[in-house]
Amino acid sequence: MKLRNKLTLAMLTVCLASGSLHAQGAKELPDWTKDLAERIQLHGYAQGGYNYNHKGSDDTNTFEIKRVLFWANAQITDRWSFLFMHDFSSVVQEYYTDYRLTNNKALTVRLGQFKNGLSYENPLSPTNQEAIDVYSEGVTYLTGCGSDPLLGVQYGRDLGLSLFGETKDGKLRYEVDVMNGQGINKKDGNAEKDFIGRLEFRPVKGLNLVATGQLGRGHAINTSLYNPGIQLGQDYKRNRWTVGFDYKSKAFNAHGEYLEGKDGDATSRGAYITGSVPLGNTHCELVGSYDFFNFNTDLCMDQHKAIFGLQYWFYQKCRFQVQYVYKSAYTQGNQFIHGANHAVMCQMQIRFH
């Protein structure tokens, strides 16, 4: 049996065992089962919907399941925890252990596979993002979420070690990651590691300022039309930095960021701003975003993207979304084409815990 199937079976066993404990209702449980039920938390969500896309002279439409994630968080002691996350529509996403070294939240160490700290958006769950296609073009490309052929689709995650913590008042938070730089479920492709730093500052209620950076060396698993100077199997400089903000209030929510990256001799840069406005007491929100990203400034591979739509929260973290998406450029085969790309997206999100 493959490792993936074994891990999935193990998690389902934990889920069934936990459900059995809760199903006993008012019956008195032994101390060890009470302790187990209190220490293991189960979470999950699914996102799926319908997409219509008009690109050039082509029209496509499809129903699709984007994500079906399940994760279990075990609190082994008051300082030590373990998390396992699997995407049933893809691969094992995360498995790591945390140990808090201090009595407060000043210093915690994390070891395993997890989301890297680069950019404001990457560490966020897709269930909290306004856009159906989740992340901005710059975040998707620079963090390994999906559109960088040199790295491949890595879902913004990697294997490594992280140190993080925050001040007593919670206004200042830091994170330092040492990672393979090759992505999920993979050994390092070279002898060098990636170093990622993240600093967050909350000067006033509702406002969070974020700065991140990365120094690394990639190992190309493919060639890329965005960066034709890098060959398959080549090691190359892979540096990034970002500055951004997040603001939340009863009137509106907004977040934005400037991003820049260096892959070999090619520079990419961009910026975005995304927000939502509640429509009275209807549990409905107006959503909008503007996103600019240039994949290679020397080759003029610039793209503008605009999103406009509505989302309705029908139960806690469950929602229905419908959005119109416009892009000023798109890729087709091995070509980067400056031309309109229109899309209409609908999505249903169901989440528990």
Give the model's pLDDT for residue 318. Answer: 98
SS3 85: strand
Q: Report yes or no: 182 and 113 within 8 Å, Cβ to Cβ.
A: no
- Predicted confidence band of residue 278 (pLDDT cuts 50, 70, 90): very high
Q: Are 113 and 94 in contact (CB under 8 A)?
A: yes
Which of 269, 286, 47 is closest to 137 using CA atoms?
269
Give tens-digit pLDDT for 210-252: 999 999 999 999 999 999 999 999 999 999 999 999 999 999 9
Query: Residue 204: how many CB atoms within 10 A of its CB?
Result: 8
- Over residues 132-159, the mean pLDDT reads 94
Higher-confidence position of 314 and 37 = 314
pLDDT of residue 30: 66
∠ CA 181-183-186, nearest 5°, is: 105
What DSSP state is assigned to residue 227?
-
Average pLDDT score over the chain: 91
Average confidence (pLDDT) over 37-65: 93
pLDDT of residue 21: 44
Asked if the model's pLDDT at residue 46 lies above 50, the reply is yes
- List, in sequence order, every beta strand (DSSP E) within the chain: 40-55, 58-75, 80-87, 92-100, 108-115, 157-166, 172-179, 194-201, 207-215, 217-219, 235-248, 253-263, 266-278, 284-294, 302-315, 318-332, 335-352
User: What pLDDT is recorded for position 33?
Assistant: 73
In this prediction, residue 29 has a pLDDT band, given cuts at 50, 70 and 90, of low
Mean pLDDT of 145-170: 95
Give the rounded percent of residues in the chain with a pLDDT score beyond 90: 85
Instruction: Give yes or no for residue 22 having a pLDDT over 90.
Output: no
Structural tokens at position 97: 């252990």
pLDDT band, residue 27 (cuts 50/70/90): low
Mean pLDDT of 120-126: 96
Sign of CA dihedral 217, 113, 350, 129: negative
CATH architecture for the domain at 3-24+36-352: Beta Barrel (2.40)
42-49 mean pLDDT: 96
- Joined together, the tokens standing for residue 86 give 């699997």
| pLDDT value, residue 202 | 98
Task: Decide if pLDDT at 32 tops 90.
Answer: no
Specify the pLDDT at position 284.
97
The packing angle between helices 31-39 and 3-23, to 10°, is 120
Write the DSSP symbol of residue 206.
Answer: T
Confidence of residue 66 (pLDDT cuts 50, 70, 90): very high
Q: What is the largest CA-CA distance in the chain?
A: 69
Greater confidence (9 vs 184) lies with 184
Say how far apart CA 291 and CA 300 lie, in whole Å.
16
The amino acid at 293: F
Q: What is the pLDDT of residues 279-313, one digit of tens each?
A: 998 999 999 999 999 999 999 999 999 999 999 99
Model pTM? 0.89
CB neighbourhood size of 234 (10 A): 14
Coil, strand or helix at 34: helix
pLDDT for the residue numbered 9: 46
SS3 210: strand
Cβ contacts of 350 within 8 Å, gap of 6 or more? 45, 46, 318
Query: What pairing do the DSSP bridges indicate for beta strands 235-248 and 58-75?
Result: unpaired
Contact 164, 173 (CB under 8 A): yes
